[in-house]
Amino acid sequence: MSMKPLAMRDALLERIWHEMATNPDIFFASADFGSPVLDKIRADYPARFVNVGIAEQNLINISAGLSLEGYTVFAYAIAPFITMRCYEQIRVNLALLAEARQLNVNLIGVGAGYSYVVSGPTHQCYEDITLMRVLPNMQIFSPADHVCAAALLERCVVETGPKYIRLDAQPLPVIYTGGAPDMERGFHVHRHGARVVFVATGYMLHTGIAVAEQLREAGEVVGIIDMFDLARFNADALAVALSGYDIIVTIEEGFSGRGGLDALLRTFTVRHCLKARMLCIGVEPAYRFDLGTRLDLHELVGIGPAAVLRAVVEMLATLEASAGTKREVESL
């Protein structure tokens, strides 16, 4: 069943707009960033909307203050700006203050990874997962399609505390054509595999699916897991989902080896005594000014489908070589 993809932000904002009709505590704050659906929010609920201007530090502070007065706040801006321009405001007035006060502030960052393809490294965002992950009390959501993005609404409203929702700026093909996954669980197993499982988040789930398809044609059935919650996923369920694999491949549109999804999974596998080898695919940590399509850029930095396929095939060869060695050792 095919389904027309929407921009993630419009899908989520549509849900927020509906929620605002019956929930008088919802407040929407933007740092001069828009969307067609935002026009409806602005027009229909002017008393619960504010545009702070190009001022992300103030966006966070205003949102914290509104939340202290009992509002459930959605704060909306471009991903690198809403995470990095105002990092200390997030740390002190959201993550830290949440230790002492009941807050509900949901940061919506649009433009995960390379989704602003030709705008260059200021507008691209390869650090946000790491930076938000390091803050206690901060939840992180990273949906792979608009269905999952829209389904985050309930958790945003019901669960208190600060949250970061990283959205792709481009409409992505619909993964959840049959409806949203179990949002409480925090991850979704798309497919079970034999030796290899891909753990991907956001846009990279689509890359993972494409590579898995190529591998399946070559006889290797790969498992695929969508990690859309990078903080409060069901850990016991994830340990079960990952058990039995020889290789866990993390795939993220963020710097590799810098504390993102790869670090999350490495720590997780150690804590849960999972024996699998790990292959961590992420953006080679460097800032670049290259232009091209998103796929061109992905191949340049080592996260395109061709690069992922190459890395997985190499890893499988290593696994087979060492398994061979092991058999030889046993036969001696």
Name the residues that contact other proteins, by CB under 8 A: 27, 47-48, 50, 52-53, 55, 57-58, 60-71, 88-89, 92-93, 96-97, 100-101
Beta carbon nearer to other proteins, 101 or 216:
101
Question: In the chain, where does DSSP find H-type helix?
Answer: 8-22, 36-44, 56-68, 79-80, 87-90, 128-133, 146-151, 153-158, 204-217, 235-242, 261-271, 294-301, 305-331
Beta carbon nearer to other proteins, 48 or 298:
48
Shortest distance, position 162 Cβ to other proteins, whole Å: 13
Closest to 213 in 3D by CA, of 309, 295, 281: 309
Shortest distance, position 124 Cβ to other proteins, whole Å: 25
Beta carbon nearer to other proteins, 53 or 324:
53
Beta carbon nearer to other proteins, 92 or 134:
92
Beta carbon nearer to other proteins, 36 or 53:
53
Token digits of residue 21:
């009709």
- 165: helix, strand or coil: strand
Shortest distance, position 5 Cβ to other proteins, whole Å: 35
Work out the number of other CB atoms within 10 angstroms of the CB of residue 156. Answer: 23
Shortest distance, position 121 Cβ to other proteins, whole Å: 23
Shortest distance, position 32 Cβ to other proteins, whole Å: 12
DSSP 8-state symbol, 97: G
Shortest distance, position 80 Cβ to other proteins, whole Å: 18
Give the distance between the most distant pair of CA atoms in the chain: 79
Closest to 250 in 3D by CA, of 224, 231, 229, 275: 224
Beta carbon nearer to other proteins, 9 or 91:
91
Closest to 92 in 3D by CA, of 134, 135, 30, 59: 135
